[in-house]
Amino acid sequence: MNTQIDIWQFVGGIGLFLFAMSQLESALKSFAGRSLKRFLQNHTDKPLKAVATGTIATAFLQSSSLVSLMVLAFVGASIMSLENALGVIFGANLGTTLTGWVVTTLGFKLNLEDAALPLIGIGSLMLVGLKGRIANIGRMAAAIGFLLMGLSLMKSSVGSLGNTFELERLADLASWQYLLFGVVFAAIVQSSSAVMLVILAALHSGVVELPAAAAVAIGADLGTTGTVLIGAVQGAAGKKRVAIAHFIFNVTTAVLAFSLLTPLLKLVRAAGISDPLFSLVTFHSLFNFLGIVIFLPITKPFARFLQRRFMTKMQHESLYVSETTPAVSDAAIMAITEETAHIIGRVIDQNMHVFSPALPIPPGRPPISTPIEFGIESRSFDELYRKNKRLEGEIVSFALKVQAEPLEQSESKRLNRLLSAIRHAVNSAKSLRDIHHNLEEFADSPRTEVNAYLDHFRSVMTEFYSEIFRLRSVGEDQAMFQDFASLIKRVHEWQDQLHREIYSDITHGTLADYEISSLLNVNREILNSNSALVLALQEYCLDEYEAAALNQLPSFA
């Protein structure tokens, strides 16, 4: 009966510890918020800084998984290079070792019962009765209390086990068996911190010796890589690269630490650390630090190695959102911003292919920075339209997931404006798709009057896209308010001029009845297409106040 009670104390202790760590992570995440994301973005431009950033961020959050999630999102959104992401991942491994130091200092060197219940009581009351940051402080206090209670249960259960268990049985186990235990246990509970809690309690109670505990600690770091690998199997190329890098780093570090187990423990002893608990956490930090020392000088070639072997398979139209997680709002908004420029560029390319042959690429620069290569004649208009509709669907689907996450007001407004830009761009493409068959009929018509109008339409579109490519003059990053106001005025002037010409020919009887309807429809849809594209660009380039002022102009009404 006592054995059963000890087992449930053991399980309950682990459960409380994992629950406390998840609550502590939530509380710290709410405090960190955007500041932590900016910290990750702004301090990873060099590998050494990236390592330090990963270490500090993980030590603060006590969650390498959360830091890794942010890194994957930043890599997918092209905010962070793979090389710098590797530095953060390496540093995150070192940052997680702080848990062992905290557990050793608080859990085994202080009286847990004196602190656990007051923290749980006061913290829970603050969490339930208050709101905002004060409630999160209460969540943090309660989490620390539960963590200490979990440690207390673990200590007592493992301690009683040490009194009844024949320790000689453990002496016959080989070091690799302890290593395997750490791997399997960490893979099951998916927390190297929980494994460190167990092995520290066992070491404290004399159930295992220091070398055996050190082998378990090595296995614990290796065991947590399994979930990362499984999660990356169906992921994008960037996600796979980071996951494989994490796995290779941990395997290499584990092999090194296990091979040098005895010398490293002697080094710890030579440093004057005699307490077994502090010796174990020092060893844990030491071999992770050695892994960084080995990998940091080869970060660049390591990144190139990964990039050559894990290429992106284009099973989707998007370039950025498919590589990003919606849970990290900064990276998600950046990815949608880049994807909006991508789809606007593709719509411009598609629209210039509405005629056969396609419109020439105008001199100047595209109105926004876009990854699209213009002027590839092999593209058909219908194929481009289908691809753009699929791209729109991928972006909107991702945006809906982003909107389900907590967003700041500025992020929500920017997201809505980007979605508006995408909607206008696709409407521009759709307007031309609706008249594509009319333009083909005009081209096949034997009547010179109809052919002349086709030339007029082509001339208007050529001039419009020439203006589009002049929106960003040399030295300017984006078009200005007055540029859009002038362009939309020109768009309406071109439409009005063609409208007058059509009615003039109607008056003179030079057009057949069936031709009149088609010509008026084409002229109207070209106006709609060009106006929608201008609206898409203004939503992307201008701030909300400039865009609102522009929409009040008579030409936009």
Structural domain range at position 501: 321-556
Low-confidence stretches of the chain (pLDDT < 50) are 1-5, 161-168, 314, 474-475, 557
C-alpha–C-alpha distance, residues 165 and 188, integer Å: 24
- Are residues 481 and 546 in contact, defined by beta-carbon separation less than 8 angstroms? yes
Please tell me whether residues 275 and 402 are part of one structural domain. Answer: no
Tokens of 112: 């847990």
Among 245, 276, 309, the domain-final residue is 309
Q: Is residue 315 part of a domain?
A: no
Residues 409 and 287 in one domain: no
Tell me if 316 is assigned to some domain: no
Q: In this structure, are 291 and 361 located in the same domain?
A: no
Which pLDDT value is given to residue 549? 65
In the prediction, which pLDDT does 5 show?
A: 44
Q: pLDDT per residue over 231-287, tens digit each?
A: 555 556 666 787 788 888 889 999 999 999 999 999 999 988 888 888 988 998 899
Start-to-end C-alpha separation, the chain: 82
Residue 107 neighbours by CB under 8 Å, 6+ apart: 147, 148, 151, 152, 155, 197, 200
Distance from C-alpha of 44 to C-alpha of 47, rounded to nearest angstrom = 7
Structural domain count, the chain: 2
Q: What is the pLDDT of residues 145-185, one digit of tens each?
A: 787 777 667 656 655 544 444 444 555 678 888 888 888 87
- Same structural domain, 329 and 288: no
- Answer yes or no: do 287 and 354 share one domain: no
Q: For residue 392, what pLDDT is reported?
A: 92
Tens digits of per-residue pLDDT, 512-536?
888 889 999 999 999 999 999 999 9
pLDDT value for 24: 64
Tokens of 68: 């890794």
| pLDDT for the residue 520 | 92
Q: How far apart are CA 134 and CA 130, in angstroms?
A: 7
Residues 386 and 293 in one domain: no
